[in-house]
Every structure is written in C-alpha cells, then in structure tokens.
Structure 1
C-alpha cells in the first residue's frame, strides 16, 4: 500500500484503533491493491479468475495424505465433490485478516448492536480446564452454551488484535449492513466460491501435506494438544506458538496476501449448505442454494485437525450458532 508514514502507523495499529490515525474508507479511483476502512480493517483486491472448486481426491488418496484420520471421517466428504471449474467474473476486496476483537468492539460501540449471545441470554461457548467432554451427551470440546461466555470471554485470553469469536452469522450480517450504511459501499460475507478461490490463491492440484502448514497457519498443534490429550494423536506434528487464537497476521500470507485463510478461526460465508450443490452449481459466480437450514463456514481454526485444514473442506452451522472457534472475514465489493 503506497501511503505516507502515518498510514503505516495506522495499519500497524489497526486492531487497537489508535486515535489520530486517518483511515481511507474508499479505495483510490480505479481500485488498488489494498485499502483500509473506518474500523481499521485492511482489504486486499482479489482479481477475477478461474479455479477448480472442491476435492478431486478419493477417500483412499486422502487416507494416504492424512493417515491418522478415522475412516468414517474420510467417508463424510461427499459434499466436496465433484470438483468443478468455477469462474469468478468480478474482482472484489477481501479482508486481509479476520475481524478482530478490537474492531468488533468498535462496531458495537458505534452501532449499538447487541450480539446474539448476549441478546438471547444464552451465551456462547468457552474453554474451561475443569470441563470434561466425556461428561456431556455431545462430547463437545467446549463448555456451553453458558451466559458467561461471549465474544468478550471465550474462556481464554485474547488481545484486541485476536480474531473475535462467539459471533453468529447474524452478527456478521449486522456488521456488514452497518459498514455498508455508514461508508456507502456494499460489505457482505464472501460466497463459498469467492472464499475458496481466495484461499487457493492460484494453487492448482492436490492440497499440500499437513506439514506444509508449518509457519502458515494456527491449527491444532502440539501446544493445543496439551489441553486435549485424548486427541493428541490428531495434532499437527509441529509447534505454531499458540495454544488458542493468535493475533491476526501472525503467520505468513498466501499468494494473494491474505493471512489465516486456514486456521485461527472458522469464517462464516454467505451460502446455505446443500450436500449436492456442487453437482449442479453454476460455472460462473455460484451464489449457493436459494434456501437451507445451515450456513457454511470455512477455513478451520486453532482447534482444527489436519483433514479439515484444507481450502476445499466445508462445514456448517445454523445462523444463530455462536462458538469459540468461529469468526468473521468480510468482502467489500469493488466499485
């Protein structure tokens, strides 16, 4: 980003929303590689282009790549198939990072929005070292719902520059609507196709092996496995320096200049989920199913096992779900 020294200071302090930093809330005429909005969110211009969406690998091929994955998990990936050609016909701006705690806090203070975990009184999910997943019917890794957990408190320490969690799809929509209204440009969640295109960033062929994510992603590694020893055999074979969330941008960016597309927190997309959507998906700018019950989230998190830390993996939850692993990354449409 070609800006004066003051701009550099602003970007470095974006999560802290340092006072006195003037931020540009529209890109320069004709577009630009990067720009920063009024909440300090940095956006990267993603060019139009084509890619192969989904997974072509068979269950046997995935088993060879992820030998510790349980066979039943390898059989549950049919919604990633068939792999198919997709064209993104228009450039768009995508958040360089996931929305931070500081940015979400500023949104709440300026907009008056009340997050669903607080508005409905049921809270969210959180990490509690005294909680035993084996004592619950679902065997969930985290305690909840509980009113003491929310975006403010996921049960572990977070700084202002960490990705916000325990936010619902509806909260993400509220943030996008507010930014659109206050800045006069359309913000929204990315479609699944836009998200996967940005994640792959020109990568062709098979997914890289798990070890290739070292230095690239905050995932379920040896630091995190200390807190969940029953799943230690599923941990990535390295240390990424973070047992829980990491400050956004802690790891190397992909070829588009985007950080944490894999790992750190799952990211809501705009699309409803349907198991068979890829079989009849449009070849250009697929919008996802017209209706559904659950929304797709992508990218994995700091608690994600190797099989799921892939650009092609799909997961989903209801729009009201709030969870200690799920956050937000926004699109700002190009002029």
Structure 2
C-alpha cells in the first residue's frame, strides 16, 4: 500500500510542479534504467545509514525508476532526467540532473593523474589519461626541417582526454568486427592495418553499441599533444632516439611488430612514432595551422582527405617525426595504416 501511495504522490507532485525539468540526456548509450542503477549503486555506500538495508530491486512505473529502503522509509528515484530523494515524511528533494551525477561518478571528485590508466571492460583496450594543457603545435626548433603544412607553430590548449595506450590490435578488431583485414596476420597483439577511415568509423559505431563508453578517434591536436608526452619539445613521440621508441624502415625488418615492444613516451603511451600510421578525426587543409582556433581545435569543417599521423614501419626516420601530417582519402587502405582510440572525460 505504501508503495502505491508513493507512486501516486510522486506522479502528482511531478505533474503539478516539475514538468519544466530539463529532459535532455547526455550523448551516451545507456538507457534510463541503466543510468539510474549506476547512480543508486554509487549512492548506497556513500550514505550507508540512510540507504539501508539492502533495498528491494530497482522498480519502474510510469517513467519513474526508484528504490525503496524499508528500514529508513526513504526512496531514491529518477524521473525526467532528474534525481530525487524522498524522505520518510514524503518530502520530495530534487538533487539535480541524472547526467550531472553520471559524469560526477565517472570522473570522480578529482581529475585522473597524468599517465593514469583505464581499461575498457568489453574489449580490454587500455587508455592513458592525458591532462589538460597548452603547447606549441607544429614543427619547431626542437625538430628537423619541416614541410610547409607543419607551419606555423601555434599555441593550442586542450581539455584532458583518454588516449589509447596502444594502437588497436588485430585481436581487438576481430573481436568486434568478426574478421581481420590486416596484411600482416602475425598475431592478436599486432596492430590492425589495411583499415580505411570509413572502416574505423564502422568499428567505433559497433564498439559503442556494445558497451557504455563513447569511443572516437583523437583530433589531430590531441594526437600530437599526446605523442609529445603532453606537448613537450620532442622530435619523436617520447624523445629524439627513434630506435628505442619505434619501428621504422631501418629496424622493422619490413613488417609490423607487436604493440608495446618499444619504449613508451613520457605519458606511458606506445608506438606513436612508427609501427603503423594512425588515422585522426580531422579533415585535412594545407593552411589550417594559420587559422586554427586556440582551444580544442577540431580541424576544418569539410575536406576531401583525412589526416594520418605518426609514421610507420615502412617510413624513414624523418617521416616518423611527431609533427609530420600526411593525408589520404577516407576510403584509403594500406598495410602501414591503422589507428588508436580516444575518449573524452566522462565517456568511459
């Protein structure tokens, strides 16, 4: 009886006074019940004296998702993208938007430490936290002679993000897509290659549909910032000694190699110089560096080619510099071309 009284009272209260609530949802793949359960599960250990004992199962009625705690006669509930607490006197307390709570829970109270890692539970893909910061993007005096499209050097400031610790492997690709397109079918821990930008978008779309995370390609600015260990003045991804950092023409034996077998850069990220080239999200433009915004640049709005970064096993050392920015059409495939994933904060 009490349960039905609560539901009726809750609906009446919402209809009477809260129908103007913001009903927008964050861009993720969780349904309302999954969102509520994440928040409820997180709240219980935060308030063990109030939200006890073990409640009844999460229930849903007329769009209201709730748990009832019989020992204290209280409820926690979600409705119209808001979180509510209902005390023992049936007073309704609006605690804010569901998506705010989800982001708070996912990010934690503090930003991750630089180089901190997170592993996707669905695929096992590992990510490294790249902290926010500003850096001089392009080909500067810390490297050799430059192509024109690597100039001018310009300041870029980025929000923190998660970057794949390794290039996506053949095993990870096959686990999602069901087949392996690679030319060098050497093993599950070798980088996947012969994938176009369009193929990668299909992989990301399918991967995002299978879990709770929102994966993407890094932007060109994010890629270079992560490669240079958080924007340091580095010629290659991690320093000036390419033989220790990456697989390129002089040491590769004319093939790809298992990911993570050379030294990492200063953030603990591997193979950003050499092994395989890596797709980024940006369209390509010759003069983009002259017009790029300072904060979180996303690349040109349109184009005919996409940027690829990092050099590969078939490139000479100069073409594996962190600043180099080749470009190819989105449908292009090659046995030296792969990718790594990125995540915005709160999307893991």
Decide whether the 8 Å contact of 1:27 with 1:35 is kept in 2.
no
1:280-319 aligned at under 5 Å gives the runs 280-319=291-330
Q: Who is 2:156 aligned against?
A: 86
Q: Who is 2:134 aligned against?
A: 50
1:46–1:282 CA distance, 2 compared to 1 (3 A): same
- Describe the SS at the equivalent of 2:118: strand
Structure 2 residue runs without a partner (length 5+): 1-104
1:62–1:281 CA distance, 2 compared to 1 (3 A): same
Query: Is structure 2 residue 245 aligned with structure 1 residue 161?
Result: no
1:202–1:43 CA distance, 2 compared to 1 (3 A): closer
- Describe the SS at the equivalent of 1:214: helix
Decide whether the 8 Å contact of 1:269 with 1:298 is kept in 2.
yes
Q: Who is 1:97 aligned against?
A: 166
Which structure has the higher relative contact order (CA within 8 Å, separation 6+)? 1
Post-superposition Cα deviations, 1:199-253, rounded to whole Å, max 9, x if no partner, equal: 01145446269971122111111553xxxxxxxxxxxxxxxxxx41111100111
Taking only aligned residues, the RMSD between alpha carbons, in angstroms, comes to 2.4
Decide whether the 8 Å contact of 2:182 with 2:192 is kept in 1.
no
- Describe the SS at the equivalent of 2:163: strand
Post-superposition Cα deviations, 1:139-192, rounded to whole Å, max 9, x if no partner, equal: xxxxxxxxxxxx4451x4511100000001011112222222222222110000
**How much has 1:306 moved relative to structure 2?**
1.5
Query: Is structure 2 residue 73 aligned with structure 1 residue 62?
Result: no
Instruction: Report the TM-score when normalising by structure 1.
Output: 0.66
Instruction: Report the TM-score when normalising by structure 2.
Output: 0.63
C-alpha distance in 1 between matches for 2:160 and 2:279 = 20
1:179-190 aligned at under 5 Å gives the runs 179-190=207-218
- Describe the SS at the equivalent of 1:329: coil
Q: Who is 2:119 aligned against?
A: 36
Decide whether the 8 Å contact of 1:57 with 1:206 is kept in 2.
no
Aligned length: 236
**How much has 1:34 moved relative to structure 2?**
1.1
C-alpha distance in 2 between matches for 1:181 and 1:82 = 40
Structure 1 residue runs without a partner (length 5+): 1-25, 64-73, 115-150, 225-242
Q: 2:199 aligns with which of 167, 171, 182?
A: 171
Decide whether the 8 Å contact of 1:215 with 1:252 is kept in 2.
yes
Q: Who is 1:219 aligned against?
A: 248
Decide whether the 8 Å contact of 1:27 with 1:34 is kept in 2.
no
Query: Is structure 2 residue 189 aligned with structure 1 residue 106?
Result: no
Query: Is structure 2 residue 338 aligned with structure 1 residue 334?
Result: no
Query: Is structure 2 residue 257 aligned with structure 1 residue 246?
Result: yes
C-alpha distance in 2 between matches for 1:84 and 1:171 = 32
Post-superposition Cα deviations, 1:274-310, rounded to whole Å, max 9, x if no partner, equal: 0000001000101100000000000011111121111
1:277–1:160 CA distance, 2 compared to 1 (3 A): same
Larger-Rg structure: 2
